[in-house]
Chains A and B, each alone.
Chain A
């Protein structure tokens, strides 16, 4: 009978246990599955984005058809972080002029459907709307509702792919799979820079697993010495040739918003 190796004996196991315990975090890191590593990257990225409490931003959307003709929308977006749930947000439309004063109030949830109310200023009507429309275009743009809503970690499962240099920046490349069956995507491939975990690029794959769109985020600016926001987000639809550019301006943080700034009463005085 072959003799057992020395390290498999009972004593040796105990002797080795404590040093091993100290090495555990490192060992775990290297033994991490691609799924775990993908989730860890997404969690870290989300962690770095949260904690600003509230913000208000101005957004210009430039919609481009395949002939290069442009049309423009102006909106303002207010956000309130909610502990242990998705964000509350209020989107106010300033242009086109015929929809000026229209406002959309959303209570995002991590796994359930969001709660949404739309305010129609011409008849002063507040309408609770179905939020099942994840994959539909937001204001006729190349951004779907699900691209615009708050990117909770729980909304996807993940897989780490590789490291890659994107335009001179070291990036993690991860795949994420929407948890919601109503999503218009089978998967998204996301590039996050290794230094600050900022989203740099996303490839979106449609329900037939074909490449549909690419999002590129540019000119990240830092606010409150912590939070990075891109100035420009460019979405290109490879299947239709259409595109949408988002230009963000005037981010303001720490406005002291409360739930009252995100209720049905506030919707009616959002302008």
Chain B
């Protein structure tokens, strides 16, 4: 696992740099967490290289410094995970390292950043700037840092963001000993690119966003290396291996939210070309919140979303004609207890992916998180079938400083 070792040592250098910067700044500007995690997989693995339990340790620090009355700032966020079994999950990353300047009509941001676009809960179609850190969590909300030049032009008619993105990161995916992976090993070192510049193709993106009364609108376009690789089967030494292939794509995205009373109405839709066939995908739905149920302080949110992909069974995600039902409980207590439970149901096969996420603060500086995923009735034709034996319970305890 040369690659993982290389990533580790690179992570080490970043940490040294972090502490050098830290030593020259005020202690109060450092924060972060250290977390221990255990994953339990009740079903025996599909492959005997995989394991039924896994321990993991992660660390993230944040250094922030601002000057010129907050008009300029730098942010540095290094991240490190050490995993008991999966060499691909042991990785370090600079989540953020950038300088930012803001003026009355514009903002300029230069360096490694994370950018989030979108409104829906069940999947994140429009969000495309950063590579997804797939070894962290299946929910695709963990991202690798992306090097960028971002100019935001702030006007009465909205904010126009221009992005120049030199280079793309390869998607981290679970390795041979990890669970929640494709059935055949992935040859990470043999990743292929459509562009002759390989991972150093310069991508660009533009996004307009604004709010008008109860409406929040975003319209975006991205052109460059797909963050989502296609996994192409190849025979190597008589064995099937998967090669990540990164196409050049164009993606136009629209995200809309209408906020009215206790109702949130949401729509995300994309049109993507360049990755085999051109397609359209969407997530549309609503969230309705009941406040203070049963005369308690607990709020209950009811979420319903429809997920569609015009590629049907050829879609690279399992969500081509699916329904998401979710419920969110916010306890509004001192420990900020939250529970989100949901299920994505395939409209054609009836396959179901259940998910549960719960968090609670312990004391002032600790947080306990529990997650679970259950994959039920997934037919062999579905991409989700990869994970059919990977039901899991994950418990994480984090200490914040």
* Number of cross-chain contacts by CB at 8 Å: 105
Flag whether B202 is at the interface (Cβ < 8 A).
no
Question: Cα distance A71–B297 when bound, in Å?
Answer: 18
Q: Contacts A133-B299, A260-B104, A269-B73; is A128 near B364 (CB within 8 Å)?
A: no
Provide 9 A-B residue pairs closer than 8 Å at the C-beta atoms, listed in order of the A residue: A63-B334, A71-B364, A123-B116, A124-B114, A124-B116, A128-B257, A132-B261, A136-B299, A184-B292
Which of A113, A124, A258 has a CB less than 8 Å from the CB of B115?
A124
Cβ distance B204 to chain A, nearest Cβ, rounded Å: 20
CB pair A135–B292 under 8 Å, yes or no, is: yes
Distance between A157 CB and nearest chain B CB, rounded to angstroms: 22
Question: A96 and B361 in contact (CB under 8 A), knowing A71-B334, A265-B159?
Answer: yes
User: Bound state CA distance, A214 and B258, in angstroms?
Assistant: 37
Please tell me if the beta carbons of B332 and A140 are within 8 angstroms of each other in the complex.
Answer: yes
Bound-complex Cα distance A271 to B262 (A):
28
Instruction: Among B142, B261, B291, B336, point to the contact of A140 (Cβ < 8 A).
Output: B336
Chain B min CB distance to A139 (Å): 8
B3-18 vs A, Cβ < 8 Å mask (1 yes, 0 no): 0000000000000000
Choose one: A71, A100, A137, A264; the contact of B159 (CB below 8 Å).
A264
How far is A129 from B264 in the complex, measured between Cα atoms in Å? 8
Residues of the A chain whose Cβ atoms lie less than 8 Å from the Cβ of B107: 265, 269
**Residues of chain B contacted by A182 (CB below 8 angstroms):** 291
Which residue of chain B is the closest to A208 with respect to CB atoms? B295
Q: What band does the interface of chain B fall in when counting residues whose beta carbon is under 8 Å from A? A: 35 or more
Nearest chain A CB to B126 CB, angstrom units: 12
Q: Which of B102, B216, B262 contacts A130 (CB 8 A)?
A: B262
- Of B257, B332, B401, which one neighbours A136 at CB under 8 angstroms? B332
Which residues in chain B, 321-369, are within 8 Å of chain A measured between CB atoms? Answer: 332-336, 361, 363-365, 367
Q: Is A115 an interface residue (CB 8 A)?
A: yes
Closest to B359 in A: A98
Inter-subunit contact A128/B104 (CB<8 Å): no
Complex CA gap A98/B337 in Å reads 12
A179 interface contact, C-beta 8 A: no
CA distance A140 to B332 in the complex (A): 5
A33 at the binding interface (Cβ < 8 Å): no
